[in-house]
Amino acid sequence: MNYDLVVIGGGPAGLAAAISARRKGIKDILIIERDRELGGILNQCIHNGFGLHLFKKELTGPEYAKCFIDEVRELNIDYKLNTFVLDIDDKKELSVINSRDGFFKIQAKAIILAMGCRERPRGAINIPGSRPSGIFTAGTAQRLINMEGYMVGKKAVILGSGDIGLIMARRLTLEGAKVEAVAEIMPYPNGLNRNIVQCLEDFNIPLLLEHTVIEIKGKDRLEGVILAKVDENRSVIRGTEKYIECDTLILSVGLIPENELSKSAGIEIDPLTFGPIVDESLETSIKGIFACGNVLHVHDLVDNVTLEAYKAGEKAAEYIKKTSKERVLKTKKVKLYPGNGIRYVLPQYVNIDDLDNNLKLFFRVNDIYRDIEILIESNGSLIKKIKKNQVFPSQMESITLDKKLLTEIDQEILINVK
């Protein structure tokens, strides 16, 4: 089987990437989705608040997904459901499996990685104690309740204040469970402000900052957890331990881009984002393989995923249309580094001569900062400076650099908080 473009993942990133490649004239596109329907994680995000930036409307997850699923159908883009990609190689050959066609191979001219991310489970944070049932990641609980119709418990503690955890605090409460507390190990919440208000304050659910779960009790079913306060080094403060009876523990302790396939192809991974290293075209270290959405870096807003995916689709289309002679090595490749106070920056490389007009950088800070300047520098000289009243690690920031500012640059670019 041959396709010009194979998109791996039929969530918001994959759908938008396929649509944009089709709009740029690519006819032969296949989306591969492992779930029973298109839409990805949006299908379980039944709450509203999606599309505020892109559509200026507050849509629920399924409604946001529908906009793109309808367009994929109108554009007659092929897709395969319940289908799993086992492996991709550096020649862009995919090994694929499903129960109807069995095992088969697809040769693609270009691939877009849009596999999304995975939740960090209990094992990733090493909570000691027994291993009873009743411990769920927030997304698993969300899928069980919202899509499959199973209630996960009656009395819950939520560890971590990521957005899905906050959303699940409200959801469990509305469905009749009692949420005893949301515990967050950091001194600041990890989710969006509006979720703290709408999901916790509205229902008088306490948010315990600088607290964590230090022990899990119960044999067959969870019976309770021990919470404790932590100091500035995140070490438990003795004497602050507190037992809370509960039958459910929901973990909302972070998301990790899902890059097993990227690694199997030999794509270089950034240890800071856990996603592929890309340039301004969202092209990975293998020519013709692009990445977008949460597989690249974890986003706060789906609107940003869609915009990024549009770009990946457009750039993949450009790549496919080029002859092999035109796909010459790009010139003047400059690396971007996260400096002081910056956790990561994206893209990691820019090919300055190939820039369309400007370069949009995305980054996250590593702590809360107030009244700061973000400095973009190269070889000791300042390229751009912007002021920010306050920045949070939980909110992705962006800066647009005009191409004119970059034409003279030939050394690495550093981004700093001052």
Partner 1 sequence: MDKIEKTCIICPIGCNLIIEKDPESKDGYRVSGNKCNRGLQYAIEEMINPTRILTSTVKIRGVSNKMLPVRTDRAIPKGKLFQVMDVLKELEVELPIKAGDLIIENISNTNANLIASKSIV
- Residues of the shown chain interacting with partner 1 in the complex, contacts defined by CB under 8 A: 43, 46-48, 52, 58, 60-63, 66, 145-149, 174-176, 192-194, 196-198, 201-202, 301, 395
The CB density around residue 91, as the number of other CB atoms within 10 Å, is 10
Cα–Cα separations (whole angstroms), residue 25 to 22, 219, 305:
5, 59, 22
Give yes or no for a contact between 73 and 24, defined as CB atoms under 8 angstroms apart: no
Q: How far is the CB of 87 from partner 1 (least distance, A)?
A: 30
Q: How far is the CB of 300 from partner 1 (least distance, A)?
A: 8
Q: How far is the CB of 169 from partner 1 (least distance, A)?
A: 14
Q: How far is the CB of 36 from partner 1 (least distance, A)?
A: 9
Cα 87 to the center of its chain, rounded Å: 21
Q: How far is the CB of 46 from partner 1 (least distance, A)?
A: 4
Q: Rounded CA gap, 76 and 30, in Å?
A: 10
Q: In terms of CB distance, is 173 or 273 closer to partner 1?
A: 173
Q: In what order do the strands lie in the sheet with 397-402?
A: 342-346, 358-365, 397-402
Q: In terms of CB distance, is 68 or 319 closer to partner 1?
A: 68
Q: In terms of CB distance, is 206 or 266 closer to partner 1?
A: 206
Q: In terms of CB distance, is 36 or 404 closer to partner 1?
A: 36
Q: How far is the CB of 174 from partner 1 (least distance, A)?
A: 5
List Cβ neighbours of 70 (8 Å cut-off, separation of 6 or more): none
Q: What are phi and psi of 169, to 5 degrees?
A: -60, -45
Give yes or no for a contact between 45 and 150, defined as CB atoms under 8 angstroms apart: no
The token duo for 121 is 């489970």
Q: How far is the CB of 192 from partner 1 (least distance, A)?
A: 6
Q: Tell me which amino acid residue 58 is.
A: E
Q: Rounded CA gap, 296 and 373, in Å?
A: 26
Q: In terms of CB distance, is 195 or 252 closer to partner 1?
A: 195
Q: How far is the CB of 47 from partner 1 (least distance, A)?
A: 5
Q: Rounded CA gap, 397 and 340, in Å?
A: 15
Q: In terms of CB distance, is 25 or 187 closer to partner 1?
A: 187
Give yes or no for a contact between 3 and 104, defined as CB atoms under 8 angstroms apart: no
Cα–Cα separations (whole angstroms), residue 399 to 78, 128, 241, 305, 363:
36, 42, 43, 17, 8
The three-class DSSP label of residue 376 is: strand
Q: In terms of CB distance, is 46 or 54 closer to partner 1?
A: 46
Q: Rounded CA gap, 106 and 244, in Å?
A: 53
Q: In terms of CB distance, is 59 or 226 closer to partner 1?
A: 59
Q: In terms of CB distance, is 147 or 375 closer to partner 1?
A: 147
Q: Rounded CA gap, 399 and 376, in Å?
A: 9
Q: How far is the CB of 150 from partner 1 (least distance, A)?
A: 9
